[in-house]
Amino acid sequence: MRAVVDETDGRRRKGEERRRLLREATMRVIGRGGVAAVTQRAVAAEAGMTPSLVSYHFPTVDGLLSATLAAVNDDWVAALERCAEHDDPLPALAALVADGAVDPNRTVDAEYELFLQAGRRPALRGEWVRWTRALDAVLVPVVPDPHLRAAAAAAVDGLFLRCWCDPAEWSAADVEEVLRALVPGR
């Protein structure tokens, strides 16, 4: 009888570490050449691994992109959840939009391109839905009307793009001012 696997040999941990390194390598490949540059061979070279190791962990490019977007989205959803902890989430949300778009510790260019692929690649749509639901949860307390909330969420997405493309023109205060203009009674 086989007992619950004791992780003393570290196989599971080593596998997760390799998958993390492959996701990070994928982001660097996207950052340099866009999503079209992502192949198992290109990611393997970037990660310093063999193509067979990439295909072992991620049998398809869509699977690799999906796992990479899920990891990126984990960070963004966690940040949205922190915004929702505030009585008035709009200042925190505005800061997330303005500051997150230009964070030097992030790969925002690659992240944005990967999110945009959700429109073309069905395997990525679940992560887009997860983002929109998390954003909706932040906005529910301040925008109870679902139609106005959809408009505010669309504004957040658009403001993120504006902050990313022209960060010198947008501060957290600017973003908050726009969001408040869309929120009745705020």
Over its length of 186 residues, how does the chain's per-residue pLDDT go in tens digits? Answer: 455 555 567 888 998 999 999 999 999 999 999 999 999 999 999 999 999 999 999 999 999 999 999 999 999 999 999 999 999 999 999 999 999 878 776 688 888 899 899 999 999 999 999 999 999 999 999 999 999 999 999 999 999 999 988 989 999 999 999 999 988 776
What topology does CATH give the domain 62-182?
Tetracycline Repressor; domain 2 (1.10.357)
Which amino acid makes up residue 68? T
Q: What does the alpha-carbon distance between residue 136 and residue 13 come to, in Å, rounded to a whole number? A: 34
Rg (CA), the chain: 19
Q: What is the pTM of this model?
A: 0.85
The pLDDT of residue 8: 63
Domain residue extents for the chain:
62-182
The pLDDT of residue 102: 81
Q: What does the alpha-carbon distance between residue 78 and residue 85 come to, in Å, rounded to a whole number? A: 11
The pLDDT of residue 10: 81
Q: Is the dihedral of CA 130, 33, 105, 169 positive or negative?
A: negative
The pLDDT of residue 75: 92
